[in-house]
Structure 1
Amino acid sequence: MENHQALSTTTDVMSADSTLDSITQRKHAAMIKRLSSINQSRVSSKTGPKDPSFESTKSFLSLFTNSKQAIESSFTQIQHNLDANPNPTLDLKLQLEKISQLEKLVAENSYFLPPYEVQSSLKTIDNLKQAFDSVSSKVIPRKKFSFKNKTARKPESANIVAKETIENEQPCYKVKDSPGFRGKENERLTNEFKGSEMGEFVLSDLTGCEVRLKGCTQALFINRLQNCKIYAGPVLGSILIEQVEGCLFVVASHQIRIHDAKESDFYLRCRSRPIIEQSFGVRFAPYCLCYDGIESDLKESNLDLDDDDDDVRSWENVDDFQWLRAVQSPNWSILPESQRIDTVQI
């Protein structure tokens, strides 16, 4: 249901004024510049010819534009080939999935894009959704698909397509071969990473567990957690969190993306703005973890922030990709100091 609502983002929200005040904009621009430098360093160290990430605004916009034009071309072909196509619903479903994938592409790469490029890309996606509505109303006038008015009752055919899209949607990361903790309940789970053990780590399908991770990892993937407490040392790359409820996270990373989180608290240290999507009741506070050797781990991961570092308060500058109005998103808030936990020693 929530995924279907995500595909039904309203036009009035997408067209709302999202201009940042000048001070915030300058700070964000400075952060983006530093991230671009970090990204460029990573580019020069890569040897793989087909790395899936985008290391510049130009390369991202190139793929984004090509994908947009391909979707628009498909809309034209669907309308022109009605007589030769007995079942245009399948073609429409494919374009619906492509629009959803394009929206996810923007969210996953927004950490290095200038703010105006993010807003422009999201506006383009909204235009594609409106074009989808227009084409579907002409092709199947009695069974119109729609992105509009998420509170309105949808025709049955639109519900079927959206349901099939959600059921067929795959996680945005592949973690099946990575080490980690899976399928545990009411346990304390601990791990310490050393040297060659540094890599990707997974926390999946946990209920009522307390997880303690010492040392540095390359990436941390978290999905389907309920009522868990996660205490983790610094992550050199990204932390991806999906489908969590009633949890507490104390984590540090260069990039943190949160999808489908409910009633959870996040104590973060990060060098880019945290991203949330399809989440509500989430609260944020600064990182508060301590263990023997954490200072050297933070330094190794370039997360040893001090009060003079512009990124020291990135944890509180959250981007909500389901809320583009100029006013504060109702889906997240700063955790009041009186309700924060004390420094956690593991």
Structure 2
Amino acid sequence: MDIQVDICEGNRDDNSSNVVKIPERLLQREQARLDDAERRKEAKESHSVANENSEFFTKAFNRDRAAIEELISICSGADRALATQTLDEATAKTQQLQKFLNDSMMFLAQYELRQAQASLQKLQTSLAEKRDEALPKKKFAFRSRTKATEQVCDTVPATQSGETVIDGHTPAESSIGKVEETVYSKQCGFSNMDDMVLTKTAGEINKNDVLLSHLTNCKVRLFGSPSTLHIKNVSGCEILCGPVSSSVFVDHCSNSTLALPCQQLRTHNTTSTQVYLHVTSRAIIEDCQGVSFAPFTWSYPTLDEDFVVSGLDRARNNWTQVDDFNWLALGTPSPNWTLISEEDRKTTWEI
């Protein structure tokens, strides 16, 4: 002990800095060890909380999904009034389930998220199919022109070729002169049209499912707040839509421009398409190439009111958050989608 004291005292003048630095290094090393231990503890606790949240989500999601499936099943054989009431309740619960999923995305693993999204999409498809089955669309035929039909034709638009358009559909010529038509059904939209300007008002689409299918070189304007929007087999189209309260599903879309706000966007088999997006969860693409994104820029006089009707959060827009289910390389951006540069973004739209 005396020798150690003498050495320290003998070197106090020449190596006084060393005498001070040794305990500092020890303190720093000890502090680093304590910090590392605290980080490991926090990580363990965070992992435990995430597991608990994930378990709670799975139980709640499956319970609510089963309740919706039960509502859908009891519509079989029910009268129209009961079926309408039950399906409306199932639709509202499905929208709530979609919101629950959106709010839970932050702690769900990718596998759990995909499973839940697939289950929800299947549920929405079943709901749409059951609505078509329980609430069949009305039909009517074009026959001889009477005074009543003349009055109807005077109130609906016509194409450039002079063909009458009712609810956005042109009656096809046929030997029997009949055409199937949707009249204010729960699902409305436009199908099988080329080179046309197509418009629906808020009164027609609010809280309804909207279907756009087999359109080529069309300009579509949807004012209001649909429940869901399905876009299938469209090419060279410009589709602008008001706030969609739940999901937008895009399938087989090419060389088109879409502008829409929604809770969730799922895009399949789509190429060379620009999407001006307001999404409160995340956008999902699968089997897509050349899809580009920018923030939603379309505006019209009643847009604010339609956002209120939809229930979407205008302050929350995750348009840059895109999940590519065909690209799982962590840390490497997907080559299937890009962001549109500011100078190339469209800010004005013809109406």
Shorter-chain TM-score bucket reads 0.5 to 0.7
Asked if structure 2 preserves the Cα contact closer than 8 Å seen for 1:111 and 1:273, the reply is no
User: How high is the TM-score relative to the length of structure 2?
Assistant: 0.51
Letter of the 2:199 counterpart: T
1:316 aligns with 2:320: yes
Task: Describe the shift of the 1:262–1:297 C-alpha distance in structure 2 as closer, same or farther (beyond 3 A).
Answer: same
Q: Distance in 2 between matches of 1:210 and 1:316?
A: 25
Q: Distance in 2 between matches of 1:216 and 1:56?
A: 19
Give the C-alpha shift of residue 305 in structure 1.
Answer: 1.7
The answer to whether structure 1 residue 117 and structure 2 residue 109 are counterparts is: yes
For each residue in 1:224-277, what CA deviation from the matched residue of structure 2 results, as whole angstroms up to 9, or x when unmatched? 000000011011111100000000000111111111110000000111110000
Kindly indicate whether the alpha-carbon contact (under 8 Å) linking 2:277 and 2:296 is maintained by their aligned counterparts in 1.
yes
Residue 193, structure 1, aligned to residue 211, structure 2: no
Cα distance in 1, alignment partners of residues 114 and 280 from structure 2: 23
Equivalent residue letter for 1:117 = A
Within the candidate set 188, 194, 202, 2:211 is matched to: 202
Distance 2:309 2:299 in 1: 16
Q: Secondary structure at the match of 1:236?
A: coil
1:49 counterpart residue number? 70
Q: Does structure 2 retain, via aligned residues, the 8 Å contact 1:269–1:303?
A: no
Distance, in Å, in 2 between the alignment partners of 1:54 and 1:292 is 26
Is 1:223 the counterpart of 2:232 in the alignment? yes
Give the residue type in structure 1 aligned to 2:236: N
Mapped partners of 1:197, 1:116: distance in 2: 32
Contact 2:102 2:281 in 1 (8 A): no
- In structure 2, list runs of 5 or more residues that go unmatched: 1-42, 44-49, 73-89, 116-123, 138-186
Q: 1:247 aligns with which of 210, 235, 256?
A: 256
What displacement does 1:194 show?
Answer: 1.9
Aligned to 2:335: 330
Task: Give me the whole-angstrom Cα distance separating, in 1, the residues matched to 2:70 and 2:341.
Answer: 47
Q: Deviations 1:176-196 (Å, cap 9, x if unpaired)?
A: 762210000000000012288
Question: Cα 1:337–1:50, aligned 2, differ >3 Å: closer, same or farther?
Answer: same
CA distance in 2 between counterparts of 1:274 and 1:121 reads 13
Matched to 2:323, the amino acid is D
Aligned residue runs from structure 1 range 282-297, under 5 A: 282-297=291-306
Counterparts of 1:255-274 in structure 2, within 5 Å, are: 255-274=264-283
Residues 263 and 279, structure 2, Cα contact 8 Å, conserved in 1: yes
TM-score normalized with structure 1 length: 0.52
For residues 336 and 302 of structure 1, the distance between their equivalents in structure 2, rounded to whole angstroms, comes to: 29
The letter for the 1-side match of 2:322 is V
Looking at structure 2, the residues matched to 110 and 250 of structure 1 have their Cα atoms a distance apart, in angstroms, of 21
Letter of the 1:243 counterpart: H
- Secondary structure at the residue paired with 1:322? coil
What letter is aligned with 2:324? Answer: D
**Separation in structure 1 between the aligned mates of residue 69 and residue 195 of structure 2, nearest angstrom:** 41
Q: Which structure's relative contact order is higher, taking Cα pairs within 8 Å and 6+ residues apart? A: 1
Aligned-pair CA distance for 1:121:
7.9
Which of the numbers 260, 275, 280 marks the counterpart of 2:284?
A: 275
- Rounded Cα–Cα distance in structure 1 between residues aligned with 2:348 and 2:253: 23
Q: Is the 2:271–2:290 Cα contact (8 Å) retained in structure 1?
A: yes
Which residue number in structure 1 is paired with residue 8 of structure 2? none
Shift in Å at residue 117 of structure 1?
A: 2.9
Which aligned pairs between 1:298-313 and structure 2 lie closer than 5 A? 298-306=307-315, 311-312=316-317
CA RMSD of aligned residues (A): 3.9
Cα deviation 1:140-191 (Å, max 9, x = unaligned): xxxxxxxxxxxxxxxxxxxxxxxxxxxxxxx967577622100000000000
- The answer for unaligned runs of 5 or more in structure 1 is 1-21, 23-28, 58-108, 124-170
Shift of 1:293: 0.9
* Matched position secondary structure for 1:244: strand
Amino acid of the residue matched to residue 334 of structure 1?
L
The 1-side partners of 2:125 and 2:269 are apart by 13
Offset of residue 56 of structure 1: 7.4
Question: Contact (CA 8 Å) 1:204, 1:224: kept in 2 or not?
Answer: yes
In structure 2, do the counterparts of structure 1 residues 241 and 111 end up closer, same or farther at CA, with 3 Å as the change threshold? farther
Q: Tell me whether 1:341 sits opposite 2:350 in the alignment.
A: no
AA matched with 1:298 = F
The alpha carbon displacement at 1:344 in A equals 2.7
Q: Please report how far the alpha carbon of residue 329 of structure 1 lies from its aligned counterpart in structure 2 after TM superposition.
A: 0.4
Contact 1:111–1:255 (8 Å) recurs in 2: no
Aligned 8 A contact 1:200 1:218 in 2: yes
